[in-house]
Structure 1
Amino acid sequence: MTENTQAQANKLDEYSRTSVPLSERKSLISLIIVWVGYVFVVTSMQVGGLMGAGSDIPTFFKALAISAVILTVIGSFIGIIAWKTGLTYGQICLHSFGKIGSQLVALMIVVTLIGWFSIDAYLIGQYTNAMFSSVPLIPVVIISGILMTITAIWGIKAMGYLAWVHVPLVFVFSLISIYLSIKGSGGWSGLMAIQPLEQLPFKQLVTLGVGSFICGAVAFTPDILRFARTKSQAIVVMVITMMLANPLMLIFGAFGTISTGEKDIAFVLLAQGLLTAAFVVMLLNIVGTAIGCVYSGSLSLSITFTKTPRWVLVCGFGLIGTIGAVVGFYGYFGAFIDFLASTIPALAGVFIADYYFSFKGHYPNLETYALPLIRYGAFIAWFVGIAANYLIPWGFSSVNGVVAAFIARAILAQLMKFELKPEQPQITRSSAL
């Protein structure tokens, strides 16, 4: 295969197994629109609804601000690594966790993304059934799962086109819904006066806020920001999406729930008389996010199924996700968010410490570097981070998990230098002479 042919093949395969070359990096506006397309997601609105049902407005905003800062910091560090290396989440896992270890970690994220996809597919069925009660839910779920899977085969270009359509529309409808929530509560003072039937602990509210997009901040970020041209691009994208776009979706959901008493965003819009007008917009929004799940999931699977074309991995991912939607994974939504917030943040601590302490800010060429099958130091640090999430009583669990994993990995990187050794060239009789 010639060099030009190989380059074309890598491009068609979305650089799933190689670094994105500088010539293929994207503009700032294109990265923002694609990334906001990920963030403008109905599931974040659902999380906002859970937060709104368990808090008053002042408490909600405090939790929202803290969770936004946490997501921005984590995502920015991961984004910088992605920009500098041009690698996917799965490829970063390969360096940090080893040849087999990376497959275990990537598989966990794949399962997580399948969970998100199944929730998205179910929500399309729920929206359609709420709008047209005579249309059965399950057939719509199956059809939407198939269509979203097919669309995901076209990769980041298709997501960009779709995002240009649904992002502005979702933005407009979210502002309209927020306005109606305030108006329907008797104005701002009326909304502020509403108290929850059961107040959630503040730490749990922060956990929900972080969990709303922690999977994206850690696992989606490399898959998109590997296309960034500069470090400042990567940081600006993360600030806009984590400090503005994701909080807007949480506010959308929280205000609607506080105002109407409905936790489900479909029924919030129905109560506000917006479901008919917003029907197509919300469907496009869900489809855009679900396609992103399939895209990132297929890239993560590429490090395990190295010989399998990406489109085959996309189809397998979509099939399993659709089955999950049909069997009712949506019913475990709250527990799913808690699981993400307790396990995924620590991965960020491992990646960041490993990149700067083990690899000194430069991943090696794997053609000349021998990665072990499992890098035990990374797993130990990850487990330390997860344990800190549960055992440290002060602060915020997500932050505790990241910091503990970072410190543990930085220390182990110095103690376990034997994990990384340059591969020694084989000495033949002729070369020895």
Structure 2
Amino acid sequence: MVRRDDSPATGVDTGVEAEAIDPDYPVTPVPAHARKTFFSLAVVLLGFTVFTPTMLAGAALGTAFSFGDLLLVVLVGSLILAGYVCALGYIGARTGLTTVVMARYTLGTRGSKLASILLGGTQIGWYGVIIGTIGTLTAQAFSWDSYAAEAAVMIAASVLMCLTACYGYRGMYWVSLISTPLILILAFWVVARSLEEVGGWSGLASAEPAASMTSAIAITTVVGTFVSAGTQAPNWTRFARTGRHAILACIVGFLIGNALMILFGAIGAITFGEGDFVLVLYQLGLVGWGLLLLFGNLWKSNADTAYAFGVAGAELFEKPSKTPFVIGGSVIGTVLALVGMHHHLEGYLVMLGIFIPPLGGVIIGDWIARWRAGMPEGASLPMVNGVNLAVYAVASLLAWLSDHCGVGIPPLIGIVTAIVLALVASRVSGTARPRSAAS
């Protein structure tokens, strides 16, 4: 039987659907009848990356570089991020599996728990950042001095986002479809006001940096904005009908959407001294529009985040439903928000940019070497793949040393090292499979 190169390759018969407790298939391949259109997938991924806290990273970059250098940094960082995510997204479409389930084939049935803890844990941290941001900015909008009122907003927002994530892919699609266009319209309007404030593009280009940052740290920050979420892109691209659709949707979300948000934050910082467009709208006296931007944007993004740690929890504890883990992770993330997790964003992004990319790199390299014909259910897998775990450790160490010594670009070093070492390890150990091998 001839199969198109970019069609799903799960190694299982998806013609007959087994009884599923969770319609989002958190621990099994997404069957052919449940796959989504390219438009649907692009809406979800763009809604995920059009994310206002990303503008805070852009604000840090905007005050540290001239506008020309800033564009170069954002372009390089976004290309690294998008290339990495496209590779993982393509594999997700081909296998129909989430990232953490694919890790079983790369790290072993027990070794994959590292991926579930690492990816699920970092997403819970992001969830806390977003919930805390909502509480803080709402309190600023209404000039609240009471922390109890701020905390109440955090808890209420968390409940709403948790419920959306429990509803699954369909819930995230509709929230993104409605809110993302409104948010982008507001963002471009604020950019236009910013240009009026600074004297047009020429005024923006002539602005002098007020701070300093190395290019390596800046690029790591750009990658770190969504590298944890990007590593889990297969959670959504597994619903793609073809690998090509997955790649294009990842480009829309992680190259275009994420780069725009970083640039929006940088422009806001240069012109208004404030990277978050919600606060810019507050300064312009448009509190209502600011709150609309805040809640519409963070609702859809955090629902995606909750979904990600939900499927990671389902794999970690080998349960067929994500819902209990969505709820549990939301509770933990809310507690982190209440204790001020969101005040440590920049350092958190650098950490993600160092330790998350090597994990995706190992999965990409191992898939190229061994699993291109499919990742079949019921395959004989070791409990722990010590070789690939060692590959991840070495790649992470080199990425950390790159950051510590200020040499190179840590995320790129982590990704490339992990891919190359995983390929070499498979060749040396004799476990590599030819492309034409049957599952």
Do both proteins adopt the same fold according to a TM-score greater than 0.5, normalized to the shorter chain?
A: yes
Q: Once the 2 structures are TM-superposed, how far is the Cα of residue 13 of structure 1 from its aligned partner?
A: 3.7
Cα deviations by residue, 1:30-73 (Å, 9 ceiling, x for unpaired) = 11111111011112112111211322211110101101111121
1:271 aligns with 2:283: yes
1:82 aligns with 2:119: no
1:147 aligns with 2:160: yes
**Partner Cα distance (1:56, 1:107) in 2:** 39
1:183-332 matched pairs, under 5 angstroms: 183-219=196-232, 221-307=233-319, 309-332=321-344
Whether the aligned pair in 2 keeps the contact of 1:49 and 1:265 (CA below 8 Å) is: no
In structure 2, the CA distance between the partners of 1:375 and 1:138, relative to structure 1 (3 Å rule), is same
1:365 aligns with 2:376: yes
Whether the aligned pair in 1 keeps the contact of 2:26 and 2:320 (CA below 8 Å) is: no
In structure 2, the CA distance between the partners of 1:204 and 1:273, relative to structure 1 (3 Å rule), is farther
Q: Which piece of structure 1 moves more, 165-174 or 383-392? A: 383-392
Where 1:104 maps in the other structure, the secondary structure is: helix
1:333-412 matched pairs, under 5 angstroms: 333-359=345-371, 361-367=372-378, 369-392=379-402, 394-412=407-425
Whether the aligned pair in 2 keeps the contact of 1:177 and 1:272 (CA below 8 Å) is: no
**Partner Cα distance (2:337, 2:205) in 1:** 36
Q: Which runs of 5+ in 1 are unaligned?
A: 421-433
In structure 2, the CA distance between the partners of 1:391 and 1:315, relative to structure 1 (3 Å rule), is closer
Whether the aligned pair in 1 keeps the contact of 2:57 and 2:221 (CA below 8 Å) is: yes
Q: Once the 2 structures are TM-superposed, how far is the Cα of residue 308 of structure 1 from its aligned partner?
A: 6.2
1:114 — aligned with what?
Answer: 124
Query: Which letter does structure 1 place at the counterpart of 2:423?
Result: A
**Partner Cα distance (1:35, 1:364) in 2:** 24
2:195 — aligned with what?
Answer: 182
1:167 — aligned with what?
Answer: 180
Q: Once the 2 structures are TM-superposed, how far is the Cα of residue 268 of structure 1 from its aligned partner?
A: 2.8
**Partner Cα distance (1:364, 1:163) in 2:** 31
Cα deviations by residue, 1:331-351 (Å, 9 ceiling, x for unpaired) = 211110000111111122101
Whether the aligned pair in 1 keeps the contact of 2:217 and 2:409 (CA below 8 Å) is: no
2:3 — aligned with what?
Answer: none
RMSD between superposed Cα atoms in Å: 2.1
Whether the aligned pair in 2 keeps the contact of 1:60 and 1:205 (CA below 8 Å) is: no
Q: Which runs of 5+ in 2 are unaligned?
A: 1-12, 434-439
Cα deviations by residue, 1:76-120 (Å, 9 ceiling, x for unpaired) = 111110111000111111111111111122111111000111111
Where 1:213 maps in the other structure, the secondary structure is: helix
**Partner Cα distance (2:383, 2:287) in 1:** 51
Query: Which letter does structure 2 place at the counterpart of 1:173?
Result: L
2:44 — aligned with what?
Answer: 34
**Partner Cα distance (1:305, 1:346) in 2:** 23
Structure 1 segments of 4 or more deviating over 6 A?
none
1:430 — aligned with what?
Answer: none
Q: Once the 2 structures are TM-superposed, how far is the Cα of residue 273 of structure 1 from its aligned partner?
A: 3.6
Where 1:12 maps in the other structure, the secondary structure is: coil
In structure 2, the CA distance between the partners of 1:20 and 1:308, relative to structure 1 (3 Å rule), is closer
Cα deviations by residue, 1:294-325 (Å, 9 ceiling, x for unpaired) = 11111111112223632211111111111111
In structure 2, the CA distance between the partners of 1:264 and 1:29, relative to structure 1 (3 Å rule), is closer
Whether the aligned pair in 1 keeps the contact of 2:46 and 2:254 (CA below 8 Å) is: no
Query: Which letter does structure 2 place at the counterpart of 1:18?
Result: T
**Partner Cα distance (2:53, 2:282) in 1:** 17
Whether the aligned pair in 2 keeps the contact of 1:180 and 1:272 (CA below 8 Å) is: no
Whether the aligned pair in 1 keeps the contact of 2:21 and 2:321 (CA below 8 Å) is: no
Cα deviations by residue, 1:345-388 (Å, 9 ceiling, x for unpaired) = 112210111011133x1344342x32111111111111222222
- TM-score normalised by L of structure 2: 0.89
**Partner Cα distance (1:413, 1:269) in 2:** 54
In structure 2, the CA distance between the partners of 1:11 and 1:171, relative to structure 1 (3 Å rule), is farther
- TM-score normalised by L of structure 1: 0.91
Q: Once the 2 structures are TM-superposed, how far is the Cα of residue 123 of structure 1 from its aligned partner?
A: 1.4
In structure 2, the CA distance between the partners of 1:95 and 1:48, relative to structure 1 (3 Å rule), is same
Q: Which piece of structure 1 moves more, 160-169 or 260-269? A: 260-269
- Alignment size in residue pairs: 414
